[in-house]
Structure formats: C-alpha cells, structure tokens
Amino acid sequence: MALNLVEQRRHAHLLIDALPEEKLSAVNNLLDVLVEPLSASLARAPEDDEELTPETIEAIQRASASIDRGETISHEEILREFGH
C-alpha cells in the first residue's frame, strides 16, 4: 500500500535521522539537486571563459537598458500567452 504524503515525509525524516554521519553529506547533496536542480547544475557548471564579442556586449547593453526602462514581460503574462 502506498504511503500518503505525510507518511512519506515522516518516513524520509526517520531515514535521515538514522543515517551514519559519513553519509549525511551525500544525502544533503542529493536533496539539494532534487529540490533545486537548476541551481545545483549552475553551481557545478564550469565558468564560461569565452570572450564576449562586440555584438554580444551591445546586445547585453540594449537588453539591460530595456529592463531599466521597465520593458519587461511578467512570468504570468508569458504563461497566459502560451495558454498555461
């Protein structure tokens, strides 16, 4: 029989509490990735050492100026546009 959400969380906490100290770091890393996979991936990604071209620098400056002028689209607007 499948455990409900409360039972699953309780069981997970019991398992974590029972872990040997040397395995706790590995579990923490796994939980970090499960909870926030994009942030974890970005944190592990190598630094981009490619030089920016003048065109890219100009595009970044135009985008930054556009944001400064308030020319943005909210997340909610994008979701509405794409029917979500």
In the chain, where the domains are located: 5-81
Q: Note the residue count of the chain.
A: 84
Q: pLDDT digit of tens for each residue in the chain (84 aa)?
A: 566 888 999 999 999 999 999 999 999 888 877 877 777 777 778 887 788 999 999 999 999 999 999 999 888 898 998 987
Report the distance separating Cα 62 and Cα 65, nearest Å: 5
Report the distance separating Cα 74 and Cα 53, nearest Å: 29
pLDDT of residue 50: 84
pLDDT of residue 13: 92
pTM for this predicted structure? 0.40
pLDDT of residue 53: 93
